[in-house]
Amino acid sequence: MKHRYLGNSGLKVSEICFGNWLTHGSQVENETAAKCVRTALDVGITSFDTADVYANTVAEQVLGKALKNERRESIEIFTKVYWPTGPKGPNDCGLSRKHIMESINGSLKRLKTDYVDLYQAHRYDHDTPLEETMQAFADVVHSGKALYIGVSEWDAAQIRTAHDLARSLGFQLVSNQPQYSMLWRVIEEWVVPTSVELGISQICWSPVAQGVLSGKYLPGRPAPEGSRATDALGGANTIKRHLNDEVLTAVQRLAPIAEELDLTMAQLAVAWVLQNPNVAAAIIGASKPKQIVENAAASGVVLPGDVLARIDTVLGEVVVRNPMLTAQNSPKARPC
């Protein structure tokens, strides 16, 4: 397992990060979830990503229990704040000082740790002054409850303003967590260049496009039983944008490329994300330990330039590149 520096910080994270969105506390039984964490550790993954909103705080509990006996100094734990938790009262979401301070305390308790390595703003809060949010994050860092601060799905202008405020308040903004894959490249035009300039890394979610790039979804065929596309708990909604015959036909044209490289299609997808030098880590999820073993093998894979060009050619117009879509990911009003 290779490791990369997170932004301009001295923190190294594993190229493959294990995330438990849509799995722990919902799709996957706790015993299986613990086996997945154990497998992640066995293949060299040291970075683990979660959020308080996942399974309404249960995912953090499951991860905390699974990591309880690990040497804390040897792992990196990431979590997030923004989306509604608890009974979803008026202050149970957003990036107000009140919600951030209460949320970090709750997350630490559930994760069974004194600090998290990375605390991330899960979306941009249009209803809270950014100065208030960044001051609260500064206090979280200065109190030792988080070592670094990141954001998720913020646009380039938001990242730049937050970066400048962080510096003035004595801490670093080191990362952004966007969706990024062969099929979804909206960060490339604006977010990545701004991040490179400011010393901020990407920690990318959905590198396999919710499983579409694994090749298991076939054009003109129903989704496989038990797949994310059949998950009524939320998985089906996240994958549906890719489930059309044009996209699925293009994805099947990646199979010969993966075969020539002796990679699975999922490994090719994860490796593709890691070719971007601004990417510190690709987040993989799993409902079975064997999926972790497979995807972790993408670490260290180098894709030649001609292979990257072939991938662009076979995917053609199905790739989504519109940089304006990043700004649409944060609700214009608080979701609680």
Distances (CA, A) of 156 to 65, 87, 91, 125, 274: 36, 33, 27, 15, 21
Distance CA 12, CA 87 (A): 36
Q: Tell me the pLDDT band of 219, cut-offs 50, 70 and 90.
A: confident
pLDDT, tens digit (0-9, with 9 covering 90-100), for 269-323: 999 999 999 999 999 998 889 999 999 999 999 999 999 999 999 999 999 999 9
Looking at residue 10, its pLDDT comes to 98
Using DSSP, state whether 82 is helix, strand or coil: coil
Structure tokens at 197: 């300039």
Summarised one tens digit per residue, pLDDT across range 137-156 is 999 999 999 999 999 999 99
> What is the share, in percent, of the chain residues with pLDDT greater than 90?
85
Whether residue 234 has pLDDT greater than 60: no
Report CA 116 to chain centroid distance, whole Å. Answer: 16
Domains in the chain with CATH codes: 3-329 (3.20.20.100)
Provide the percentage of residues in the chain whose pLDDT is more than 70: 93
Residue 177 near residue 118 (C-beta atoms within 8 A): no
Cα 66 from Cα 210, distance rounded (Å) = 24
- State the Cα–Cα distance between residues 249 and 251, nearest whole angstrom: 5
Q: Which two tokens stand for residue 80?
A: 């997030």
Active-site positions?
Answer: 54
Residue 232: pLDDT band (50, 70, 90) is low
Report the alpha-carbon distance of residue 291 to residue 92 in Å, rounded.
34
**Residue 259 pLDDT > 70:** yes
Per-residue pLDDT for 62 more than 90? yes
| 82-140 pLDDT tens trace | 999 989 899 999 999 999 999 999 999 999 999 999 999 999 999 999 999 999 999 99
The owner of tokens 């990362």 is 175
For 189-206, the pLDDT digits (tens) are 999 999 999 999 999 999
- Write out the DSSP string of 269-322: HHHHHHTSTTEEEEEE--SSHHHHHHHHTTTT----HHHHHHHHHHHGGGSB--
